[in-house]
Structures are given as structure tokens and as C-alpha cells.
Structure 1
């Protein structure tokens, strides 16, 4: 079972099939507000947060469902520890999965082995 389902329930709906995006690494943790997935770009690490489909279930119903933020690796390449810090910023947010996938495909250059 995927980590995000272990942490947020087997019925949590991402709105997309995670298996189609093998470069998204599940880093979900039950103490966070929603599932999260890190990935590497040509400029460093980023994290995709996927909130609940129903805005009423979100901690902040004003926030979009899909949010991409810059992140840092305080671990190693072999054992990454990806997280946000005071320098992290939101670079994309949307409630639409189509817009989110387009963001990934059009604007981010992934390493060849992760694509």
C-alpha cells in the first residue's frame, strides 16, 4: 500500500494515478496536513502537496488542492531528507489536476532517469 494511503487513509483520492508519475516520491506523514511528494528538477528539489478534494476537509479551505513548493535536502543523494525551510516558496498552485500536470510537463525539466 502506498505511503500516502497508510498515512491519510486508503480512500484518499489524489485526483491522478500516482503510478503514471514515477518521479514523484511519496514522503507523506500523518503529522502533515496532507500527502506530499518530492521530486528533483534541474534547479533542485520541490514538493507537491495534494490536499483533500473537498475544500471543507482542508485545514485551510482557501488554499488550492495542488501546491508545489521549493524544498531542500538535508540528507544525502542516497538517503534524501526533503523538507521546506524559511527560504521555501510556493511556485505553483491550482485546484485543477490538468493544470498541475501541464505545469510539470511544460515548466520543469526532470533528470532523464526520473522522467
Structure 2
């Protein structure tokens, strides 16, 4: 059984076909608000959505971001821990482990790259990324 189903129930509906994105690694944990999946961008290729991000008067150079986490919240907003967030959010993350044993987490330096309520918009966004596997298959 998939990890997110073990942690959030077999009835949890992702709203997109996980099999279409084999490089998303399920990192769901019962102490979290919702299922999450980590992934790594193909280094050096970058993504059109990256670049200079503005946070107030501060600018961050994001072109080197490699690790990301996709959060998939409940379809029904009333079931969400935070009812002001979108169902799907992709945030930057840091590898606190090694290349061979990654431990991917978001922290106070993380920021949201993408969010939407629609599974189709998420699928289109993920399809435009150059995702690489964490582990050789």
C-alpha cells in the first residue's frame, strides 16, 4: 500500500494520476496535515517559473533550487488544517541528508513556487518540470 494511503486512509483521493509522475517520492507522515511528495529537479536545467522572487524589498535568486515538496491537501476545505491554503502547493525544500539518503524538508527559508485548487493545473505544471529520480531504478 502506498505511504500516503497508510497515513491518510485508502479513501484519500489525490486528484491526479500519481503513476504519471514516477519520480515523485511519497514522504507522507501521519503527523503532517496532509500527504506530501518530494522530488528533485534535473540540476542545471532550471525551470521557467524560477528566477528572481520578490519578498518585500528583498530578492532571492532561485535558479539553483533543486529539491521541492508537493503538498496535497483534502479536496474539502473544511477538512484542511489550514483553510486558507490551496489544495496543491509546491514549496522549495532542503536536503538535510546525503545524495544517497536524502532527507527533504521545507524550512523557514522555503517559499511557495506554485499553488492551485485544480488537479489539471497541477498536472500541467508538473509535466513542464524536468524531474529526476532520487534513486536509480
* Aligned residue number for residue 57 of structure 1: 79
Superposition deviation, residue 113 in structure 1: 8.7
The structure carrying a bigger helix percent of its residues is: 1
TM-score calculated relative to the size of structure 2: 0.77
Q: Encode CA deviations 1:30-62: one digit per residue, 9 max, x unaligned.
A: 000000000001331000000001111001222
Superposition deviation, residue 17 in structure 1: 2.0
* Aligned residue number for residue 22 of structure 2: 22
Superposition deviation, residue 104 in structure 1: 1.5
Distance 1:71 1:60, change over 3 A: same
Q: Which has the higher contact order (CA 8 A, sep 6+)?
A: 2
Unpaired segments ≥5 residues, structure 2: 44-64
Backbone CA RMSD of aligned residues: 1.6
* Aligned residue number for residue 109 of structure 2: 87
Aligned residue pair count? 113
Higher alpha-carbon Rg: 2
Unpaired segments ≥5 residues, structure 1: none
Runs of 4+ in 1 over 4 A off after TM superposition: none
